[in-house]
Amino acid sequence: MNRFKPALLASSLFCAVVAPVYAQDQADSVFNEAALAQFSAQHALDLLNQLPTFVLTEGSNERGLSGASSNVLIDGIVPLSKSDSIETLLRQLPTNQIAGLELYTGQHPFSQLSEYTQIVNILIKDQGTSLDWRAELHSQHSDHELSEAMVSMQTHHADWHHSASVKWVNNHAYSSGELMQYTDVQSDQVANSEREHFAEREQGVQLALISRTPLHNGTLQLNASAQQTDWLTRYRWTPALPAPVNGTKDIEQVDEYELGFDWQRQTATDWQMQLTGLARREQSDLSIQEWFGQSAAQTTFEQREHAREQVLRLAYSDPSHDLQPSIGIEGSYNSVSADTRHADEAENSKVTETRFEPFVAASWQVAPQWQLSGKLALEQATLKSGHNGAQSQQHRLLKPQLKLGYDLSADSQLTFSALHQVEQLDFGLFQSSQSSGFARTQNGSTQLKPMQYTELMLTWQYARADWFEFTLSPFYQWQQDIHEYQVQNNGNGAIVNAGRARYFGLDTEWSINTRFLLSDSRVELSYAWRDARFADPLSGPRPITELTPHELIIGFRRDQARLSWGFEAFLPTRFREYYHDEILTERANTELSAFVQTQIGGGLSLTVELDTLNNARYQYHRAIYETDRSSSLQSREQLSESIKPKLSVTLSGNL
């Protein structure tokens, strides 16, 4: 059961957030066009996946530009996509447009990206007219069809360079399972059971245009995109006893439009000026229908949502100065309104936020082996929610950030970082929502503050030439105003501020050269550990909600110029959510996947991927309490779900 809808596949819009600043530090590894030819890859994401121990990360981009950066740059500029994830954006950048990669580990010259210890800068070719295409076919269950098709074109006209793309998506997902209900919590006797069949379909189209031209002492880039996506999610439950079949159907349509610009200018005093703007509109219509037996479907939940965003950011930087200073300010206005109808009740909600954030950043090479960098931002925001903005709150928060790097040797680096951060509020928490899969309704919050945390992190990177590489990052957070579920007056739950928590964990990546077994091969390990301490007023100390204690991925791959292949094993995980009257535990068993990627010739590339080749299995355990989690256990439910293998075949080329 796909409980978490994937992010919408959207436009290739990107605006620059950071001016190109790589004047002092040299990259730790440089891959020119000849070196890239040794990789078997279709797009930029394939290339980054083949860099040992490199982890692609992306900041939150709910609103504004200040938190939307990733640890990937394109020609020295941080790409921004308000609708796409960075992975989607990189998938849309064919390798034949890439001139090289620059990899920075530990110390790097990008002072405004000081929160990252790993940076990759993708260099783009300056080429003439070209046409690239990609087609992807999926086979799962009994469906075999084209799931994605994309065409992109790059061309020059006068002083302008244009990049246009069209993408069509048609994705499907299926699963089946058995739901067992236990009314006697002391017994394993099943009171009722049902067979569940889940299907989800995503269909959409997107258009995007990026135009860039050189100006006197600068450049100008214009961006435009439009997309429409339709979702259809369907559950069907078949009782074990002779009884009518019942089910639900979620129908959602999302329309989104974006316009952006980026103007960069070099001043006479070596300072670089950058002005970035973005305007975005989105409308979504959701309808949830329920049906029982032969009766007509009844609409039980409807919601129409409108979202708008306008952002303007001005920044100045001097990359040639010893301190590489950067100073600027960002202002944004966001609004989300929703009309909701549920159980013959109508609800109108609106949330607006006006935010200003001045910032200053710098980086200092203290000594040949030491580098100190920092950033200080002041976030000032006014948030209004409820009918006619009846609930209003303001906050003014300092967000300091400091990073100290030390080169232990040519092969080893230590980085210590300390920061105070404010998480962006999810405006969706102010609106009512309904989960069809678990028949759960959540109220919208009436007043909610953003969660804050202070974090300490130590990162150790070590590379033993031709043997192994690893990155080890323990961290500790002191969180306040955390978000947890609590009961409301009507008996439904809602997200509220629940006080303080301590959150800590460890991330590590390993790449082990196995050339003694097979040439050009390596084993990759990725492990994440998370834990937390929160004083729950209902049940006492526990971890925070939505926490996965352990994640371990083991992979083996062989990368050659014309052929790459490998497989991955995702070991079992556990995910837990704490509602006011329920504890939901999701367990995933071991999943296996494999891929083969090859260059056919004539500019054609072929990738074959097999996901969940061992039939993915999930278990959802619901412990339901009488009134809340401080009372007695009332009943239990267990859903055992399986997902059949999925075969993907992707063919790409250029003309």
Q: Each residue of 2-35: pLDDT tens digit?
A: 332 333 223 333 333 333 434 445 777 788 877 7
Band of pLDDT at residue 389, cut at 50, 70 and 90: low
Return the minimum-mean-pLDDT range out of 38-42, 379-383, 510-514.
Answer: 38-42
Residue 591 in contact with residue 570, Cβ under 8 Å? yes
Residue 24 lies in a domain: no
Percentage above 90 pLDDT, the chain: 40
What is residue 1's predicted lDDT score, i.e. its pLDDT?
34
Please report whether residue 21 resides in a domain: no
Over residues 199-232, the pLDDT tens digits come to 999 999 999 898 889 888 888 988 899 999 999 9
For residue 1, tell me if it sits in a domain.
Answer: no
Over residues 408-415, the mean pLDDT reads 88
pLDDT confidence of residue 591: 96
DSSP symbols for 167-192: EEEEEEEEEEEEEEEES-TT----SE
Tokens matching residue 571: 């070991």
The amino acid occupying position 157 is: H
352 within domain boundaries: yes
User: Residue 622's CB: how many other CB atoms inside 10 A?
Assistant: 18
The DSSP secondary structure of 546-585, one letter per residue, reads SB-SEEEEEEEEEE-SSEEEEEEEE--EEEEEEETTEEEE
Res. 81: pLDDT tops 50 = yes
* Residues shown for the chain: 655
Determine the structural domain holding residue 354 and report its residue range: 29-434+441-654
Number of Cβ within 10 Å of residue 638's Cβ equals 17
Place of tokens 């055992």: 640
Count CB atoms within 10 A of the CB of residue 600. 11
Give pLDDT, residue 55.
Answer: 77
Q: Does residue 213 sit within a domain?
A: yes
Nearest alpha-carbon partner for 113 in 80, 61, 72, 53 = 72
Whether the pLDDT of residue 80 is over 70: the answer is no
Q: For residues 359-398, b (16+ Cβ closer than 10 Å) or e, as one string?
A: bebbbebeeeeebbbbbebebebebbbbeeeebeeeeeee
CB neighbour list of residue 294: distance below 8 Å, 6 or more residues apart: 244
The sign of the CA dihedral 622, 627, 629, 631 is: negative
Instruction: Calculate the CA 372 to chain-centre distance.
Output: 29
What residues have CB less than 8 Å from 11, skipping those under 6 apart? Answer: 81, 83, 84, 206, 207, 208, 225, 226, 227, 256, 258
- 354 in any annotated domain: yes
Q: Average pLDDT, stretch 124-138?
A: 85
- What does the pLDDT average to over 581-609? 91
Q: Which helix (H) or strand (E) holds 49?
A: helix 44-49
Domain count, the chain: 1
CA distance 228 to 522: 41
Per-residue pLDDT band for 437 (boundaries 50, 70, 90) equals low
> Quick one: CA dihedral 90, 94, 95, 96, positive or negative?
negative
pTM: 0.85
In the structure encoding, which two tokens stand for residue 133, read together? 């295409």
The whole-number pLDDT of residue 23 equals 41
Would you tell me how many other CB atoms lie within 10 Å of the CB of residue 86? 25
Is the residue at 169 inside a domain?
yes
CATH number of the domain bearing residue 172: 2.40.170.20
Q: What is the bridge-based pairing of β-strands 433-435 and 440-442?
A: antiparallel
Task: Tell me the pLDDT tens digit for each residue of 259-277.
Answer: 989 898 988 888 989 898 9
Give CA–CA dist 348/337, Å, rounded. 8
| 71 part of a folded domain | yes
> What digits encode the pLDDT tens for the residues 32-45?
877 777 777 778 88
Over its C-alpha atoms, the chain yields an Rg (Å, rounded) of 26
